[in-house]
Each structure stands twice: as C-alpha cells, then as structure tokens.
Amino acid sequence: MKLSRRCFLAFSIGGAAGTALSPLPWKLTDDLSIWSQNWPWTPVPPDGEYAYINTTCTLCPGHCGIRVRKVDERAVKIEGQESSGMNPGGICLLGLSGLQLLYGPTRIQAPLKRVGERGENRWQTISWEEAIEEVAGRLNDLRSKGQPQAVAALASEDTGTVPQLMKRLLTAVGSPNFYRMPSMEDSQAAVLALTQGEEGFVGMDVEQADFVLSFGSALLEGYGASPRMMQAVNRLRADGGKLAQIDSRLSNTAAKSDIWLAPKPGTEADVALSIAHVLITRNRYDHGFVSQWAEGFEAFSAMVAEKYAPEKIADRTGLATDQIISTAIAFADAKHPLAVYGKGKGQQPGSLKEALAVNALNALAGSINRPGGIQAMAGYDYIQWPALQPDDVAAAGLQTPRLDQKGDVVYPNPGYKVHRMIEAVGAGSADLQALLVAESNPCYSLPGADKVRTAFSKIPFVVSFSSFMDETAMQSDLILPNPIYLERYEDVPVKAGTTRRRVGLCRPVVAPLHNTQHVGDTIIQIAHAMEGSVAAAFPWTDYATCLKETLSDAWETLLEKGHWEVPETTHAAGADGFKTASGKFVLMNETIGAIYLADAPLPAGDESEYPLQLVAYDTIRLSSQYVGSSPFMLKILSDTTLKGQAGFVELNPETAAKLNLKEGASATITTPAGSADVRVHLDEGIRPGIVAMARGLGHTAYDGFLAGKGVNVNQLIAPVEDPASGLDAAWGSWAKLAKG
Amino acid sequence: MSSNEKHQTDGRTGDAHASSPSDPRSGPYILLFFILGLALSMVVGWSIFPKLLYSQKSQPIDFNHKLHLEQVDNGCQSCHFFREDGSFSGSPRLAQCTDCHAELLGESENEKIFVEHYVATDREVPWLVYSRQPDCVFFSHSAHVFGAKMDCETCHGPIGKSESLKPYEENRITGLSRDIWGRNIAGFKQNTWDRMKMDDCAQCHAQHDTLHDSSVQTGRDACFVCHK
Ligand code: SF4
C-alpha cells in the first residue's frame, strides 16, 4: 500500500470530522473565552468580609471626610463620605487614588540612614532606637554648644496635635524656628487680623452666595476642599447664580464661568480696586454695612477715586473699561455676592495688597460675616497643654530672632516666610545646623526649588519624616518614616475656607504595612531621649495618650462619627461688633493705607531680556504639594500637558507665530531662575505674551510613574517677596522661549 | 503555455502519485484513512484531551464533612455562614475552625497536620474551592438561599455526606475546578449539581422567569445581574 496524497487528505478530513464530533473544540473555545475574560494577571481583591471605615483625607489641606471600603484586611476603594459636613459624598482624583500611595512602591519601609552622598539614594536600614538616639544626640549637642536656635522644623500644617508637638519640641529645645509651608492661609490670616481684629481663619460661604467673583482661584480645580468647592459652584450655577473668573488663562474654572476677565498677571489688585471704584462712584455699595460698620470709608474712597478709575488702569491691566464696569455692576446686582482670592489651589500666600483689595469688595457689598459672605472663623483652641518650662539654654535660644525675621515690612505679620529662611541659609547668613521636615516636600514644591536644594546642602543634619522617597527625603541624612494617613490616628482641624469649624479624625484603615512609626511618637521619644526639661515638656507616654487626653470629651465623638463639629466660642459677627480697636471693620487705616501704597510684588528680571510672562497653573489632575501625583492621575493627564516624558507650555497662537513656534514644537524656556526643555501647545484661551505651565510635574524622586516626566515649574520661578507682608507672592516669572 | 494546459498534459502522460478519484484501487484506502483519522481524533477529543486539560491537585488537608455535620447544630451554615450584611462567607477561615480546634480534639492525622501547620502558625488553610466561579460572575447566596429558599444540595450536591475531599481537578487554561463544567466532558448532567455553567443557572432561572424581569430589553434577567 502506498501512502498517497489522497489518503493523507482522507485522514485529515476524518480527523477534522472526528474532532468536530468530540468535545475538544467546544470545550477549548469555552475555556479560552473564560480565560480571556479573566486575565489571570489582572489583580482581583480576594473575596472576604466587607467593611467601611470613615476617616479623613490629609493629602491636601481640604481634609475631606472619606470612606474606605475594605475586603478583609485589604483596603479596596476610597470614596467621599456622605455624612461629611465638608464634601458630602465628593472626592477628588488624588483622594480617590490614595490606595496607590498606600500600596505603591515608593513607600519608605524602615528608618534609613544615608550612606552615600546627599541625593545619591544610598541608605542603610537602622533601628528605631538608633534613629531616635541619633536625633536626640544631635539636638543635645546643639544645646550643649548653646545653639538651640540652630534647629528648625518645617511642616505642612501648624494646627493639630502633630504640628504642635513638633513646635513644642523646638520650643523645649530652645528654637523659635518652626515653619509651615506657604499657603494662602497666611494672607487670609493677615487680612482677618487687619480688618476684623480676629485671630483665626477665613470661611467662605460659597454655598449661600449667588455671585462668586474669583481672583484666579481654581474653584473647580482644587481650591480649598475641592469636592466641596465643586459642589458649591455647581449649586450656584444650577440656582441661576453667576461665576466671574479673573484669570489670564482660560482655565477650567474660567471656561465654566459666566464672566471671564483676563488681565495681565499681577494686576489683580488694580482690578479689584477698580471694581471698588465703580461700586462707590455708582453708589452701588451696601450703605447699611458701610455706614454702621466700616472704618475709613472716606479715605478708601478717596484712594480709589484718585488712582483706580477703570480707564486709569486699563493700560496696566490690559482690560477694557466696560469689562470692569459690567463686572462691578453684576457683582452689585447680586444679593449675596462673594469675592475670593488665593490663586490656583491656594498654595501661595499671594500679594497682601490684592487680598485686602478683594476683601474690600466683600465689605462694600456687606458680605462680611453674613450668609453667603466671608466669615471670620475663630481658630481652634482645643489644644490646651501644660505650659512649657524652658531651661536656661532654651530660654536664651527662644530670645534669638527667627531666621525669617527682617522687620522691614509694612505689616509685620507673623506668617511663615519660608523663602527667607531658605535664602538666609543658602547665602550662609543664617546658622542652621539641623532641620526636621514633616509631611512636606520643600525641595520640590517651593518656588526656586534649585535654590532650596542648595540651601539644604548647607544644613549639616536634615531629618525627614516622609512616608515616601520624595525629593526632600533624598536630600536628608535620616529618614524616620511616618505611616501614611490610612495607617494612623491624627486629629485634623479643617480650615480651607470652611464655614463650619470641624476637626476630622484620621484613623488606621489598615495596620501599618511597613516598619514605620507615627511622627507624634517619634517626637515624644526624641524628647524623652533628650531628658531634662525637654523630656519634662512631654508628659505623655506615647502619641495615642497625648491625642486622647488633648481631645478629652471630644474623643468619643470623633471615634463614633469620624469628625467633631467644634462649638462656636468666639465667632465675631457683624452685629456684635468687630474685635478691632474701633469695634468696626477696617476698610482703611494707616497700616492698610501703607499696604495699598506699596508696590506690587514683581518678579525679578528684565522685560527686555525676558519678554514673556510664565504663569504656573494648578490642575485637579496633578498634585503639587507634599504628596506626588498617583499613577492614576498621570494616566488621565491630557497629552497637551504631558506626552511621554515631555512637558508642555501653553501659548497663544499669536505669541507662537512671533516666535515661529508651531503646535508640538520643542522649545527651551528660560527665566532668571533657570531653564528647561518643553514642548509647545497653542491655545487661544491664553492671553498673548503669556506662557502657562502646569504645576506638579518634573519630579526627580518617587518612581518611574512620576520621575522624569515634564518640568517642575517651581525650578523656573523664584520667590517674590511681597513688600507689604514679606510673604512669598510669586505668581510666575519673566521668561523667554526659544526654538529648541 | 498556461498552467491549465500543463495540467491536462500531465494527466495524459499518467502520474503514478496522483490516481484519479475513479481509480478503483485507491477507494478502500481512502475510506480506511478517513475512518482512521476519525477514530483517532475521537479518541483524542473524548479521552486524551480531558486528561491533558485537567491537572490533579489534592487539598492541603483532608476534611470529613459528614463527621463535622453530625457535630454542629446549624447544618451547613454552622461553618459556611452568612455575615451580618447578608454576604456569604464561603470557605471557613481559620478563626472559625479554631473556635473548636484551638487544640487537638481527636486523633486524626489530618487534624494533627491542621493544628500544627495552620493553627499553631496562624496561617489560613489554602483550600481549593470546587465551586469557585470566574471573577466576573456575581452570585448572591442570600438571594438563592433566603430569597428562593433553595437548599445547598441543589447546586453543591451531597457534599455534606462525604467523608473525605475528592481531588481538585484544575483546568489548566482557566484555573477553575472541573466541577464547573462537570465531570462529563460532553457537558451532560444527571443531577442539578453536576455542573455550574451559565446554562445551568439559566435553566433554573427560565423556570422562574416571572420572578425575574430586570432587563428592559429581554423582559428577563439582564446580563448584569450576574456579570459584573
Ligand atoms: S480635596 Fe484634598 S482632602 Fe479632599 S479628597 Fe482631595 S486630596 Fe483629599
């Protein structure tokens, strides 16, 4: 028998028929479809018992109430807490992706001591005992040399038990140098003190306003507690209210507004005072409030009449006269108008003159301490610890001036001028021997980030309490990692423009994943290891005891509800009179007059060399504070912000044409502070002459998701000291752009 | 010359390897080879393929359902219970077992391994679950046990009467147990618990379709009732 081709064919056909008659193809198809619908490498949380835990998000100063869903011991989802007074059910993109931070690869897993050069990222794991001993030893050394003031601390907040423990440690050691990262809270506090004589924070009743006039505040992109703000603005618009946005760039907030004014950056104070001019000359201000409660109305009117008629400022601001007039009239027409300031997310104090001018609009409209207006909120005073007994060394140290004190400002408010401290250290004029950094990333997020790094190189001993390997942790000598907010207890007093005083409770959703220790415990242990009066200042065995004792009666409420509504104690209401010397709201007096007279803070640089203005803008899709953006956030960035590794600047087509730059072109941006390679995105929504760049990219630390992507705009912007307050008022920089 | 013409030329000269269909000598062979192919592939499909498709795994320890069922008061739900929120706990966790087995209770070898390997070291027993469905399948035990008043046996069979755990046959492609498709490779079943495929769910649901009309399109169960 010969095996013919036909035999082979017959065999094959028989085989095919037999296969079809067997379950093989059908079963295989079924299995493959199941396999393909359930890729085995896709992580699926194991089945288990569900639980929801109410806690507080501390990833930004918003401090929203959140609810974390757990399956057994694994946290699987974070959502906004319905019962939260702040952000009913709402959450932002960063808050939503907090689990990527919890389980992500950039967590610091144990106390680390630097073995390589600074920034080289070579570490040795040490024990907690060794770490505590090392810090306590260094601080004791400084004290024995009579230099306790040469230690400073930098935190993201200054209220709540943890920042206060940090401050107490410094005071007990003998240093006045406790700093908080810059925030619009500084200028708000200054405005409140100057106009209302109130020590506290500013509440904004956006919920009850019917017209919101925003001076560059990114209301829909992360300002205040962003979910709350978004809900409030949505409500405003649904109820027929109006939003007016003053922004040199068509931001998301500007795009959703009813009125958009795009003045030249840095002229917002002029715009505000010009609107005041219209309100006064057209007799459209609240006579009741002004006549009964305002001090200095005449002087204020005279000033605006002299200098701020809309036609007088048109050139400077680049706005048409009728734009200002119609905006002012719309503001006056509203029943509950509200003017807000604090650019972007409110991470910079901004100009004090601008803050006062915007606040004056609220006063002219009578929107002070009434529904829909600005509220003076009393500060939190639940921390009542026994008074400190500094020893002689500490007492002497506390007498020395702070590193940020100069005393040459019009209004010497006690805000935190971190840029001055950095400048002094960088220039070698300040003796800073040790710096403790908690929950902040100054080497990335302060303007002039490169200079900050230089200053760090001059500090012999830097301790970071960071939970992540961020830029600042990389520049430190010792890292004592804090568990992240989902793993620890902490009281979180809410400010961020809230009109309800509220302390949130941050509580462990999961047991700490790594060998971390609560920074509160670390501080107490350092103090105890130092013995003597420093140890005596910390009568608690651990942080948990301290927290419970401090909150006393409120602790149970916090545990039960996840937050505590603090009863009003000293709230200044218009009807009860203000806390100023005259008992009135100060629209103008000598100090305020001097602030209005002061020059606008201008970035360094020469317009002839740097013809453009670089403006940093905030977006809800990027985090720009202590915590870097999550991988999820980077995924949803548009590719006109970041494409591959390249970061973009936005440019008006008119400006681009002059520079001969096309969409997507590579270019080099140079400012007096530095230069960087970028790509160009053309957008008609930007004022000509302006280059806009997103804040929150260009990390050099963290992981491959974040590092090396785009440009850190803080490298290109130098701090600009506000002549009125001494605070950093940088909104951008002079810049030039050349084909790259 | 066209290829067509060449073919005809070749045909005329006679080609030993290419007998024409009418060639009487090759007919039986063709049939033989056809049957051979058919038979071989049937053997592969029906018998060898199932053996290759499934790997045999044994459970970490053996378990006697019958013995345990006699000891407890609340039937299957004594160990496979419903949580307060109505969700079903599935295979018991170590914590439940240690309620009774904190220490050795009997003399069984399996219990000894259990106590030494798992209780003493506080490790969960990695049970292999015969009824585990793909991750995209949502199934509510509550709806079936309390809502439809079904008993466990309807789907899980008389496992409560078994004295030891059968080997776990794992599908090498899907990673799921053979019990989902059923032991019969052709998919035939005799008992309701022989298979756990979608058709088996649908079969029962079809009988009760008046109860379930959650889909606007079909007036019956919508896909998303089970596929989430
Ligand atoms: S706004 Fe801030 S506090 Fe609120 S969820 Fe987002 S990151 Fe957290």
Which tens digit of pLDDT belongs to each residue from A216-249?
Answer: 999 999 999 999 999 999 999 999 999 999 999 9
A62: Cβ below 6 Å to ligand 1? yes
Is the CB–ligand 1 distance for residue A225 below 6 Å? yes
* Nearest-CA distance A17 → chain B (Å): 6
In 3D space, the residue among A630, A715, A636 whose CA is nearest the CA of residue A671 turns out to be A715
b/e map A62-75, b = 16+ CB within 10 Å: bbbbbbbbbeeeeb
A2: left (phi over 0), alpha (psi -120 to 50) or beta: beta
* In contact, A183 and A62? CB cutoff 8 Å: no
Indicate if the pLDDT at residue B197 is higher than 80.
yes
**pLDDT at B217 (0 to 100):** 64
Nearest residue on chain B to A43, alpha-carbon basis = B135
Q: Is the CB of A629 under 6 A from ligand 1?
A: no
Tokens of A556: 């149970």
Q: Is pLDDT above 60 for A570?
A: no
Residue B11's pLDDT band (cuts 50, 70, 90): very low
Q: Which of A55, A58, A64 to mutate to test the pocket of ligand 1 (most atoms within 8 A of CB)?
A: A64
pLDDT of residue A2: 65
pLDDT 10s digits, A441-490: 999 999 998 899 999 999 999 999 999 999 999 999 999 999 999 999 99
Confidence of residue B204 (pLDDT cuts 50, 70, 90): confident
Shortest distance between the Cα of A705 and any Cα of chain B, in A, equals 28
Round the average pLDDT of chain A to a whole number and report it. Answer: 93
pLDDT at B9: 43
Using DSSP, state whether A118 is helix, strand or coil: coil
Atom of ligand 1 nearest to the CA of A58: 3
How far, in whole angstroms, is CA B130 from its chain's centroid? 7
Using DSSP's 3-state secondary structure scheme, residue B6 falls into helix
In the structure encoding, which two tokens stand for residue A434, read together?
């040790």
**B13 pLDDT higher than 50:** no
Greater model confidence, B223 or A130:
A130
Q: Does residue B217 or residue A702 have the better pLDDT?
A: A702
**Is A712 within 8 Å of A698 (Cβ atoms)?**
yes
Closest chain A residue to the Cα of B187, Cα to Cα: A23
Distance A454 CA to ligand 1 centre (A): 31
* Least confident stretch, A98-102, A429-433, A505-509: A429-433
Residue whose entry in the numeric block shows the structure tokens 């680390």: A112
Q: What is the pLDDT of residue A408?
A: 57
With contact defined as beta carbons under 8 Å apart, do A576 and A242 qualify? no
Percent of chain A with pLDDT over 70: 98
Model confidence at B121, pLDDT cuts 50, 70, 90, reads very high
Residue B92's closest chain A neighbor by CA? A48
Residues of chain A contacting residue B133, judged by C-beta atoms under 8 Å apart: none
Predicted pLDDT of residue A56 = 95
Q: How far is B19 from chain A (nearest CA, A)?
A: 8
Is 80 exceeded by the pLDDT of residue B210?
A: no
Share of chain B above pLDDT 70, in %: 82
pLDDT at B5: 43
- On the question of pLDDT at A343 being above 80, the answer is yes
Q: Which residue stretches of A337-446 are H helix?
A: 352-364, 392-399, 418-426, 442-445
Kindly report the CA angle at A432 between A530 and A113, in degrees rounded to 5? 60
pLDDT digits (tens, 9 = 90+) for A389-446: 999 999 999 999 999 887 656 666 768 999 999 999 999 888 999 999 999 999 999 9
Summarize the confidence of residues A292-299 as an average pLDDT: 95
Helix (H, G, I), strand (E, B) or coil at B92: coil
CB A364 within 8 A of CB A207: no
Residue A580 and residue A294: Cα distance in Å, rounded? 11
Quote the CA–CA distance of A711 and A699 in Å, as a whole number: 8
pLDDT at A142: 96
pLDDT of A603 reads 82
Confidence of residue A569 (pLDDT cuts 50, 70, 90): low
A34/B174 touch (CB, cutoff 8 Å), yes or no: yes
DSSP H helices in A145-259: 161-173, 184-196, 226-238, 252-255
Q: Could you give the CA distance from residue A718 to residue A731 in angstroms, rounded to a whole number?
A: 10
Contact call for residues A198 and A579 (beta carbons, < 8 A): yes
Query: Which pLDDT belongs to residue A409?
Result: 60
Q: How far apart are CA A522 and CA A135, in angstroms?
A: 10
The closest CB to that of A38, out of B26, B45, B134, belongs to B134
Q: Which one of B38, B85, B181 has the shortest CB-CB distance to A18?
A: B38
Q: What is the pLDDT of residue A405?
A: 82
Ligand 1 contact via A345 beta carbon (within 6 Å): no
Residue B73, judged by CB atoms within 10 A of its CB (0-12, 13-18, 19+), counts as: exposed
Reported confidence tier of residue A286, pLDDT bands at 50, 70, 90: very high
Nearest beta carbon to residue B26 from set A4, A42, A47 = A4
- Residue to probe by mutation, ligand 1, list A58, A60, A484, A630, most atoms within 8 Å of CB: A60
Q: How confident is the model at residue B214 (pLDDT cuts 50, 70, 90)?
A: low
DSSP A343-360: SBTS-S---HHHHHHHHH
Q: If you count them, how many residues does chain B have?
A: 228
A11 chain-B contacts, CB cut-off 8 A: 33-34, 36-37
Residue A650 has pLDDT above 90, yes or no: yes
CA atoms lying within 13 Å on the CB side of residue A353: 25
Assess whether pLDDT exceeds 80 at residue A1.
no
In terms of average pLDDT, the best of A185-189, A594-598, A646-650, B2-6 is A646-650
Q: Are B57 and B168 in contact (CB under 8 A)?
A: yes
Do residues A136 and A522 lie in contact, with contact meaning Cβ atoms separated by under 8 Å? Answer: no
Please give, rounded to a whole number of angstroms, the shortest distance from the CA of A69 to a CA of chain B.
14
**CB–CB of A16 and B37 under 8 A?**
yes
Interface with B, mutate which of A31, A72, A74 (most B CBs under 10 A) = A31
A721 Cα to chain B: minimum distance (Å): 56
The two three-digit tokens of residue A563, written as one number: 């937050």
Q: How confident is the model at residue B15 (pLDDT cuts 50, 70, 90)?
A: very low
- Looking at residue B138, what is its pLDDT? 87
Q: Once rounded to an integer, what is the mean pLDDT over residues A531-553? A: 95
Chain centroid offset of residue A359 CA: 21
- Mean of pLDDT values over B46-62: 94
The pLDDT value given to residue A296: 96
Residue A321 has pLDDT above 60, yes or no: yes
Average pLDDT over residues B152-178: 94
Q: How far, in Å, CA of A216 to CA of A345, rounded?
A: 9
Confidence category of residue B213, pLDDT binned at 50, 70, 90:
low
At A202 the pLDDT is 94
Mutate to test the interface with A, among B31, B42, B47, B139 (most CBs of A within 10 A): B42
On the question of pLDDT at A660 being above 60, the answer is: yes
Reported as a single tens digit per residue, the pLDDT across A74-83 is 999 999 998 8
Rounded to 10 deg, the angle between the A352-364 and A590-597 helix axes is: 120
First to last CA, chain B: 65
Contacts of B85 in chain A (CB under 8 A): 50
Residue A385 Cα to ligand 1 midpoint, Å, equals 29
